Amino acid sequence: MNKPLMAKATAVWLVDNTTLSFKQIGDFCGMHELEVQGIADGDVAAGVKGFDPVASNQLDPKEIEKGQKDPRYKLKLKHNPAAEGEEKRRGPRYTPLSKRQDRPNAILWLVKFHPELADAQIAKLVGTTKPTIASIRERTHWNIQNMQPIDPVALGLCRQSELDAAVQKAAKRKASEGGTMTDDERRKLLSTETSLAMSDEPRMPSSIAGLENFSLTREEEQPAPADLDADSFFNLPDADDEDDEDDN
């Protein structure tokens, strides 16, 4: 799907001037709905001036009316010859200068929490090179001691939908190779929405796994003492009985 020109500025305008849902604006502008919500909250695209898609002949006003009446309606972009082939452009992802210093932290997060991702997938997600990824995997990066794993989506280096698509692709590749996955790996390979909807199942800690069938020691195998009468602990001799015993 082709995106409108100046997609983020267009999203800013739609947030400010329409009552369309975040998902409708996100689908139209090629953004995640959480990014659009961030625009509405002022956390994303601060200082970006809105770009009117109607005045630029990219969106028909009737499309906005239909979308405002039906939240499930998807806005249709007017045909723009200048945008043809834009999605098929190949090459490394451009990363703004202000965010380039965060790329190693994002790579470390992907390597740690999604080891199933191939280097080519990580390079495409955050716009880096394979030697950099290899140095972080092998912990030979010059700044590895000061790095902290940070979600690339939170850093704005990629969209959540792109990360989910890469993880799903890695899952299919691993399944085709016949590799076995643990429960934690299966959870990581699910989409974000599916993973959050899953209930946490109680699991036995790995440190005590297998001890449920551990044989009892000889001391534990000894028969338990006969049941004691609980009343005997409370039926203490009366004070008069004790005096009688003293007199005797």
Structure tokens at 218: 């000889």
CA distance 248 to 245: 5
Residue 232: the pLDDT is 57
CA distance 75 to 20: 10
Residues contacting residue 47 through CB under 8 Å, at least 6 positions apart: none
Task: Give the C-alpha distances (Å, rounded to integers) separating 212 from 147, 204, 216, 222.
Answer: 40, 10, 11, 19
Question: DSSP of 86-135, one letter per residue?
Answer: STT--SPPP--HHHHTTHHHHHHHHHHH-TTS-HHHHHHHHT--HHHHHH
Each residue's pLDDT expressed in tens, for the chain with a length of 248 residues: 577 888 888 999 999 999 999 999 999 988 898 989 988 888 887 778 888 998 888 888 999 999 999 989 999 888 655 555 544 445 556 666 667 788 999 999 999 999 989 999 999 999 889 999 999 999 999 999 999 999 998 888 888 888 988 999 988 888 887 655 555 555 555 545 554 455 544 444 444 445 555 444 444 455 555 555 555 555 555 555 555 555 55
Residue 187: the pLDDT is 53
Domain regions of the chain by residue span: 7-83, 97-194
Task: Give the C-alpha distances (Å, rounded to integers) separating 205 from 118, 180, 202, 214, 237.
Answer: 30, 21, 9, 15, 50
- pLDDT tens for each residue of 139-154: 999 999 999 999 998 8
Residue 172: the pLDDT is 87
- Spell 68-107 as b/e; 16+ CB within 10 A means b: eeeeebebebeeeeeeeeeeeeeeeeebeeeeeebbbbbb
Residue 56: the pLDDT is 85
- pLDDT tens for each residue of 192-227: 555 445 554 444 444 444 555 544 444 445 555 555
Total residues belonging to the chain: 248
- Residue located via tokens 């996955």: 181
- Spell 155-182 as b/e; 16+ CB within 10 A means b: bbbbbbbbbbebbeebbeeeeeeeeeee
CA distance 37 to 160: 14
Residue 117: the pLDDT is 92
CA distance 213 to 198: 30
pTM: 0.41
